[in-house]
């Protein structure tokens, strides 16, 4: 394949990646967006392979084919509840790849001779790319372990953590200067050891950053690491002089940064505050006796809930991570079908940080073939609760906590929440009275119009479905 054809292929792939991002911005076009991305990546792989020397093709395909098989198997078997940790794991691979590309590029004995200016620019590309990749790799590994539950979601706050982060950042800059000095006009092993030291320091920095972020901020962490992985890929593209990799990395990095901003705005949090240490404790921690709001809890069973739903005119359902854990979305879709057949208006309200991954609830509902036109974002539906007969909360907690509006001292103060309590009646489905990921009690549970329905979401929704069918 001639260079001109490769250039055309790269342009086509870049256009498809842009179309892919555009498609993924809407539920209705998400499948098409994924298809554009797949086709673009296939074109990019073929063009890159065609540009290589034939001697390197066996090594390329020896790594590419097993990777594709493993990736396909893992993706086909992953559950929706495990999707956030899979995404974090994939981000770590991108970071590690950037580190390995940086070292391979620096130690390449066949590297072409460059002018002094080009040489210094190339050294900068290598050093920055390796450092970003190292932070992305270790930070993503910690995010994976937190999301998987292997380590706790409680933020790890050590004394003077900001000074420690600053010291590591300054140390990295000093190592960068030393790296340039030792490299001089050519590459050297002492400079490679300095690069390795910078990799270790930035790797520790990545661990410390993510360890200090609490469970309530994990959706922001996932989108933030997505941005990091994009910039790491772009850095690798500069090191390899691959225009397509630069473009793709920049697209992922910028879109991830925008998504992080949207997620932070949805939590009324600044990006800097999340990075410098989050809030939250491990999910599922029961509030201490005598702490937080107190009051009488009104509970109902599945039969009473089914009657309440069937006698309503308008229902808004708020899904949360508990719905994903219980895998209750398919049974819920059947309930919605029955309600619609009874001419009952049903809508879904999605909070920006519901679940542990941006768009987690949207994908979950789409998996159950729930129509896109009844799924609404928080800003679109929040003012409709006051005209709703029943708001139905399934496995959500912090995103429907009124203390975010009423208690200035709450850890989630100022966070935009769904006003489910404004409906005539509110059904809250939970396993227990345990707090959410922010570790605070929820006054919603004690309101006069709130009815608690305890139990596993899948089992309870199945019981409601059985009542409705009889």
410: phi then psi, degrees, rounded to nearest 5: -70, 145
Q: Do the Cβ atoms of 355 and 320 come closer than 8 Å? A: yes
The residue with tokens 């509006």 is 405
Rounded CA-CA distance 359/370 in Å is 15
Q: 3-state SS of 101-125? A: HHHHHHHCCCCCCCCHHHHHHHHHH
The residue with tokens 């002492």 is 190
Rounded CA-CA distance 313/315 in Å is 7
Q: Do the Cβ atoms of 105 and 132 come closer than 8 Å? A: no
Alpha carbon distance, N-terminus to C-terminus of the chain: 66
Q: Which residues contact 1 (CB under 8 A, 6 or more apart)?
A: 9, 47, 50, 51
Phi-psi region of 290 (alpha: psi -120 to 50; beta: other; left: phi over 0): left
Annotated active-site residue in 217, 387, 398, 425: 398
The first and second tokens of residue 383, run together, are 């003012």
- The answer to whether residue 441 is catalytic is no
**With the CA atoms of 35, 39, 40 and 45 taken in that order, what torsion angle do they form, in degrees rounded to the nearest 10?**
140
**With the CA atoms of 268, 209, 436 and 462 taken in that order, what torsion angle do they form, in degrees rounded to the nearest 10?**
100
Q: Which residues contact 97 (CB under 8 A, 6 or more apart)?
A: 133, 232, 233, 236
Please list the active-site residues: 398
């Amino acid at each position: 394949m001639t260079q001109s054809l490769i250039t055309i292929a790269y342009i086509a792939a870049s256009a498809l990646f842009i179309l892919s991002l555009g498609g993924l911005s809407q539920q209705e076009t998400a499948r098409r967006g994924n298809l554009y991305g797949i086709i673009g990546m296939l074109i990019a792989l073929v063009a890159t392979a065609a540009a290589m020397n034939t001697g390197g093709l066996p090594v390329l395909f020896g790594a590419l084919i097993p990777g594709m098989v493993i990736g396909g198997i893992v993706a086909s078997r992953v559950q929706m509840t495990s999707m956030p940790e899979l995404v974090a794991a994939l981000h770590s691979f991108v970071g590690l790849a950037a580190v390995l590309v940086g070292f391979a590029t620096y130690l390449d004995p066949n590297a072409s001779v460059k002018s002094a200016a080009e040489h210094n620019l190339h050294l900068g590309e290598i050093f920055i790319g390796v450092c970003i990749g190292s932070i992305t790799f270790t930070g993503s590994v910690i995010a994976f372990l937190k999301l998987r539950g292997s380590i706790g979601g409680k933020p790890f706050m050590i004394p003077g953590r900001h000074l420690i982060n600053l010291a590591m950042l300054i140390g990295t800059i000093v190592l960068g200067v030393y790296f340039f000095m030792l490299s001089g006009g050519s590459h050297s092993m002492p400079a490679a050891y300095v690069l390795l030291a910078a990799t270790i320091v930035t790797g520790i920095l990545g661990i410390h950053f993510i360890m200090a972020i609490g469970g309530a901020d994990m959706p922001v962490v996932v989108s933030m690491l997505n941005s990091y992985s994009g910039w790491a890929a772009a850095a690798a593209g500069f090191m390899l002089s691959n225009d397509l990799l630069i473009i793709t990395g920049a697209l992922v990095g910028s879109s991830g940064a925008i998504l992080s901003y949207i997620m932070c705005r949805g939590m009324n949090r600044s990006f800097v505050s999340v990075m410098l240490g989050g809030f939250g404790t491990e999910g599922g921690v029961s509030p201490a006796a005598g702490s937080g709001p107190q009051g009488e809890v009104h509970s109902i069973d599945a039969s009473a809930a089914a009657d309440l739903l069937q006698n309503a005119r308008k229902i808004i359902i708020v899904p949360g991570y508990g719905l994903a854990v219980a895998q209750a979305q398919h049974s819920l879709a059947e309930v919605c079908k029955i309600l619609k057949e009874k001419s009952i208006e049903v809508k879904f309200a999605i909070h920006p940080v519901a679940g542990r991954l941006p768009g987690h609830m949207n994908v979950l509902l789409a998996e159950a073939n729930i129509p896109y036109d009844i799924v609404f974002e928080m800003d679109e539906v929040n003012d409709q609760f006051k005209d709703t007969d029943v708001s139905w909360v399934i496995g959500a907690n912090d995103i429907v906590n009124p203390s975010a509006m009423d208690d200035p001292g709450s850890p989630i103060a100022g966070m935009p929440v769904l006003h489910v309590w404004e409906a005539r009646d509110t059904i809250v489905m939970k396993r227990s009275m345990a707090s959410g990921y922010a570790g605070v009690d929820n006054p919603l549970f004690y309101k006069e119009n709130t009815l608690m329905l305890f139990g596993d979401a899948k089992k309870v929704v199945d019981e409601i479905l059985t009542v409705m069918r009889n």
